[in-house]
Amino acid sequence: MNFVVCIKQVPGTTDIKIDPETNTLVREGVPSVINPFDTYALEEGVRLKERCGGKVTAISMGPPQAEEALRETISLGIDEAILISDRAFAGSDTWATSYVLSKAITKIADYDLIICGRQTLDGDTGQVGPGLSEMLGVPFVAYVSKIEEIKEGYLKVQRMVEEGYETMEMSLPAVITVVKEINVPRLPSLRGSMKAKTAQIPVWTAEDISADTDKAGLTGSPTRVVKIFFPQRTHKSEMLQGSTELQVTQLMEKLEEII
Ligand SMILES: Cc1cc2nc3c(=O)[nH]c(=O)nc-3n(C[C@H](O)[C@H](O)[C@H](O)COP(=O)(O)OP(=O)(O)OC[C@H]3O[C@@H](n4cnc5c(N)ncnc54)[C@H](O)[C@@H]3O)c2cc1C
C-alpha cells in the first residue's frame, strides 16, 4: 500500500514578526521546524508502511527552504520526499494550498491513504485536510487517534470527538488528519540520517503537476489577509495588601465598583 504524508514547515519560535506592508509572516532569519502535528502524521505513515508494506512519500508545498524539513523526514523513515515549489504558489490560502497539493497527489497517482496533521501552528485553520479530500473526491475523517484496521480498499479508524471516541469505516483511497494521541514519534535513526544527507528531493513546479496557476497563489486565493496585528494588552493588575479579611473586603468593594 502507498501512503502520502503532507507536511508544512512552520516558524520554530514564538518570536513572530509580521511585515506591516504585506501582512505576511517575516520568515527570513527565523528558524523553522516541521509542524509538530505533522510529526505524528509522518510517524503513522512509517508505521503503516512497516505494517502493510509499500511506500511512504512526504510532500510539502512551500518555498525552497522547505527542502530542509523534507530531508529531515527521510531520517525518520520516509522513502521519498517531494517539494512542491513555484513562485506562482506564493500567498496561497488554504483553498489554493489544497488545490496545489491535490494536483501533486494526482501526479503521484498510486496512493491509498493521505495523512495530514490536524492543524498547523501558524495558519492553524485545519482546512487543508478536508480541502484535499474534496478536491480529490475521496472520503475524509478528521482527528484520527487510532488506525484499527487497514487492508486493500478498506480503513477502520477511531477518531476523537468532544464526548469520547467514534469508530469510522471508509473506503480507500482516503484522507485523514491525525491527533497527537495516535503515536509517539520516533527519533531519527543513524542510518536514516545518513540516507537523508544524500537523498535527492525532487522539486515539482506548477508545470510539473499540471496546476492551473490562476487557481494557485494569491490569484487563486478567495481569502485575503486584510490586517494582522498583535492584540494590545489592556488588562492591569493590582496587588491587595493586608490580612486575608482585609483583602477580601477590598476585593468585594472593587467588584461592586465593576458590577
Ligand atoms: C490570503 C492569504 C495569504 C497567505 N499568504 C501566505 C504566504 O505568503 N506564505 C505562507 O507561508 N502562508 C501564507 N498564508 C497561509 C497559508 O495559506 C496557510 O498557511 C496554508 O494554506 C495552510 O493552511 P494552514 O496553515 O491553516 O494549514 P492547516 O489546514 O491547519 O493544516 C492541516 C494539515 O494540512 C497539511 N498542510 C498544510 N499546509 C501544507 C503545505 N503547505 N504543504 C503540505 N501540507 C500542508 C499538514 O499536514 C497540516 O498539518 C496565507 C493565507 C492567506 C489566507
Q: Which amino acid is at 43?
A: E
- Specify the pLDDT at position 103: 98
100 Cβ inside 6 Å of ligand 1: no
pLDDT at 229 over 90: no
Ligand 1 pocket test, candidate residues 4, 94, 180, 219, most atoms within 8 A of CB: 94
91 Cβ inside 6 Å of ligand 1: yes
Ligand 1 pocket test, candidate residues 28, 97, 224, most atoms within 8 A of CB: 97
CA-nearest residue, atom 16 of ligand 1:
93
- Specify the pLDDT at position 188: 94
Q: In sequence order, what DSSP letters do the residues of 115-153 get, joined into one string?
A: EEES--SSS----HHHHHHHHHT--EEEEEEEEEEEETT
pLDDT at 259 over 80: no
The Cα–Cα gap between 18 and 221 comes to: 20
Number of Cβ within a 10 Å radius of residue 183: 18
Write the pLDDT tens digit of every residue in 75-128.
Answer: 999 999 999 999 999 989 999 999 999 999 999 999 999 999 999 998 889 999
- Specify the pLDDT at position 142: 98
7 Cβ inside 6 Å of ligand 1: yes
Relative to beta strand 140-151, strand 154-161 is antiparallel
Write the pLDDT tens digit of every residue in 165-208.
Answer: 999 999 999 999 999 999 999 999 999 999 999 999 999 999 99
Cα of 119 vs centre of ligand 1, distance in Å, is 9
Q: Say what the pTM is.
A: 0.88
Which is nearest to 144 in space by CA: 124, 170, 125, 123? 170
Q: Which residues 6+ apart lie within 8 Å of 259 measured at CB?
A: none
- Going from the C-alpha of 92 to that of each of 21, 30, 39, the distances in angstroms are 17, 20, 23
- Specify the pLDDT at position 29: 75
Domain ranges in the chain are 2-258
Using DSSP's 3-state secondary structure scheme, residue 159 falls into strand
CA-nearest residue, atom 6 of ligand 1:
91
CB 172 within 8 A of CB 152: yes
pLDDT at 231 over 80: no
CB 34 within 8 A of CB 9: yes
Q: What is the DSSP letter of 107?
A: H
Cell of 210: 499540471
Cell of 123: 495558519
Residues in the chain: 259
Mean pLDDT of 237-241: 88
Ligand 1 pocket test, candidate residues 93, 95, 98, most atoms within 8 A of CB: 93
CA-nearest residue, atom 10 of ligand 1:
91
Q: How many percent of the chain have pLDDT more than 90?
A: 81
Top-tier CATH class for 2-258: alpha beta
